[in-house]
Homo-oligomer: A and B are copies of this chain.
Amino acid sequence: MSAETALSIYALGGMNEIGKNMYVVQYEDDIVVIDCGNKFPDESLLGIDLIIPDISYLEENKEKVRALIVTHGHEDHIGGIPFFLKKLNIPVYGTRFTLGLIELKLKEHKISRETELHEINSNSKLNFGEMNLEFFRVTHSIPDCLGVLFRTPEGNVVHTGDFKFDLTPASNEHSDIHKMAEIGQEGVLLLLSESTNAERPGSTPTEQLVGEHVLEAFMKAERKVILSTFASNVSRLQQTVDAAIKTNRKIALLGRSMVNVVEVAMERGYLNIPDGMIIDPKQINELPPEKVAMLCTGSQGEQMAALSRLSTGDYRGVELLPGDTVILAAGPIPGNEKAVTKIVDNLFTLGANVIYGPGSSSGMHVSGHGYQEDLKLMLTLMKPKYLIPVHGEYRMLHHHRLLAEAVGVEEGNTFILKNGDVVDIKDGTAKHTRNIPTGNTYVDGIGVGDVGEIVLRDRRQLSEDGMLVIVLTMSKSDKKLISGPDTISRGFVFVKNSDELLKDVNALIKRTINNMEEADKKEWGMIKKNLKKAVGQYLFNQTKKKPMILPIIIEV
C-alpha cells in the first residue's frame, strides 16, 4: 500500500459474481478480511470441484492480516475457509451458529485443533490496530447474521453482510434497525451493501409466509410429506417441524448436511424439536404414512443428494409412493433449473403430489436477499457518502447504483468494482486508481490452485473430440521406423465405423514420416509436429472433429 493512503477497501471475490465472497478493509498496516466463500464451477470448468478466492496478495502481506470476520454461515461466505486457513492461519470471528457450521468444515479438513475461533455477537466490540469494529444483526435466510461497522480514523465503513428486512421473521431474530439508524446518524463514509436482488422491484416477502403455506400443505396431505430445502435455513426447518407437530407427524432427516446442520442448530439452541419427534429413516415404514414427514437435502437438484435419490427410487429404505406430497421449498439457483425440473418430472412419474414453482410462485420459498425496497431502506438508514455494491453480477451492481442515486447517494460516488480493484480513501475522499492481482483458485481433487488454463483447455478438447495416441518405435541410430504406428483412440469415434479411417491414418503417418526422411528433417520434435498437423487435418476433413493428437516416439 502506498504510504500516503491510510484506508483501503477491496474485494478478492464477490464482484461480478454470486459466490466466493471475500472483502478486505485495510487501515495502514492492519488488514481485516470479511468472509471467505466458495463458488461452484460452471460446466466450462471441467472436473473442477470448487472455486475459491485467490489470496496470494494476502499471503504476501501475511504479517498484516489480523482477522477473518464471518458475517454468516452460507457456503458462499464460509466455503473457502479451510483452504484459506491452511495457507494463512489467522483468528476467525463469527457468531455461535456460524462457528458451528465452520467447525463442521474444519473437522472435515482435519484442522480444528490449530484454528483459533472467537465467538462474537451483535454486541461485540473488536479492535485491530486503529480499527474498532462493532456489529449489528441482520435478517437473512440462516440464523445469526451480522453486518459490520469499522470505525477508522478516516471515517466509518459498513459492510451489510447478506440481508433482507424481514419485519416478522420466523425466528425471533430481528434486524437491528435502531442500531443501523444510529450508525447512519453517526455518519457512514462508505457502505458495502449486497446486491443479489437489486433487479427486483418491491420488498422481499417475509419468511412467515412460507410457514403458512407449509402448514396448509401438511394439513392437506393424506400420506407422507417430504420437504426439501437448504439445510441452513433453520427458520424454515423450524416452521416445518411446527407444521409436523400440528399435524401429528414424526420427522425423519435425510441427507448428511441436513443431519449435521440440525444437530448444530439444536445443540446451539437455534432449532427446537421435541424429544422423541425425530425418527430414524429406517422407522418410516413402521408408521402409517400420514404420521410421517421428512426434511431432506437436494433442493438444488444435486445428483447425489437425498431428493434426487428419492425421485429415482434409489434411497435405501425410503420409498415414495403415489399420493405422497413433496414440497420443494427452495428456488433453484441460476444454472440449476434443469436439474431441478428433472427431479420434479421423476417425482410426478412416481405419482407424488409435487408442490414446486419458479421463485416464490408456489408460496414455498421466499428469498433471503433484499429486493429494491430493502436495499433502499438500508441506504436510507446508513446515508453513506460512498457506496460499493458487492455480492452480485454486473447488472445487479449496476441496478444497485441506480437505487443508491434514487435515495440520495451522489452521482459518481458509487464504485462498481472488479475483484482486486482498490478504493483508497484519504481526507474523506474515495478514489479507485489501482488494483491488486487476484482471480479464481480452482480446487481439483486434492489440488488447490494446481489446475490452470492449460489443463482445462486439454480437458475441453478431450471432452468434445477425444484423442488419438500414435506410438512410433524408431531407431535411435538412423531414425527409421522400426515398428508401428500403433494408434489408440478414446472418446473420438466409435470403433466399429472407424477401422477404415484408422487404416488411412496409419498410411498417412507412414507417408508423413517417409516424406520427412527424404527432406532429412529427422528431429523428433519436428516429426511430432508434422504428424500432429497432418493427422489432425485429415481427421477434421473426414469427421469434422478435432481430437487431441498425441504422437509418442520410442527410441530403440
A335, B338: Cβ atoms closer than 8 Å: yes
Which of B451, B463, B482, B498 is the one whose CB lies under 8 Å from A494? B451
Which of B338, B395, B498 is the one whose CB lies under 8 Å from A344? B395
Copies in the complex: 2
Q: Does A469 touch B at the CB level, under 8 Å?
A: yes
A462, B455: Cβ atoms closer than 8 Å: no
A45 to chain B, nearest CB (A): 10
Binary contact track A545-556/B, C-beta < 8 Å → 1, others 0 = 100101010111
A486 CA to B488 CA, complexed, in Å: 16
Q: Does A432 touch B at the CB level, under 8 Å?
A: no
A345, B395: Cβ atoms closer than 8 Å: yes
Q: Which residues of B contact A43 (CB under 8 A)?
A: 43
**Interface-side segment among A98-106, A125-133, A373-381, A442-450:** A442-450
Q: Which residues of B contact A395 (CB under 8 A)?
A: 341, 344-345, 348, 354
A483 CA to B554 CA, complexed, in Å: 8
A471 CA to B458 CA, complexed, in Å: 20
B490, A467: Cβ atoms closer than 8 Å: yes
Q: Which residues of B contact A398 (CB under 8 A)?
A: 348
Q: Which A243-275 residues sit within 8 Å CB-CB of chain B?
A: none
B473, A490: Cβ atoms closer than 8 Å: no
Q: Tell me the nearest residue of chain B to A497, going by C-beta.
A: B450
Which of B467, B484, B486, B544 is the one whose CB lies under 8 Å from A445? B544
A238 CA to B394 CA, complexed, in Å: 32
Q: Which residues of B contact A349 (CB under 8 A)?
A: 394
B492, A556: Cβ atoms closer than 8 Å: no
A486 to chain B, nearest CB (A): 7
Q: Which residues of B contact A393 (CB under 8 A)?
A: 341, 345
A300 to chain B, nearest CB (A): 14
Q: Does A527 touch B at the CB level, under 8 Å?
A: no
Q: Does A465 touch B at the CB level, under 8 Å?
A: yes
A544, B446: Cβ atoms closer than 8 Å: yes
Q: Which residues of B contact A473 (CB under 8 A)?
A: 473, 554, 556
Q: Which residues of B contact A317 (CB under 8 A)?
A: none
A455, B494: Cβ atoms closer than 8 Å: yes
Q: Does A491 touch B at the CB level, under 8 Å?
A: yes
* Residue ranges of A at the interface with B (Cβ–Cβ < 8 Å): 16, 42-43, 46-47, 334-335, 337-338, 341, 344-346, 348-349, 354, 393-395, 398, 444-447, 450-452, 454-456, 458-460, 462-467, 469, 471, 473, 482-484, 486, 488, 490-494, 497-498, 542-545, 548, 550, 552, 554-556
A459-B463, A467-B467 given; 16 more Cβ-contact pairs under 8 Å: A46-B463, A337-B337, A349-B394, A447-B494, A447-B543, A455-B491, A458-B466, A459-B464, A462-B467, A469-B469, A469-B550, A469-B552, A471-B554, A482-B556, A486-B552, A552-B552
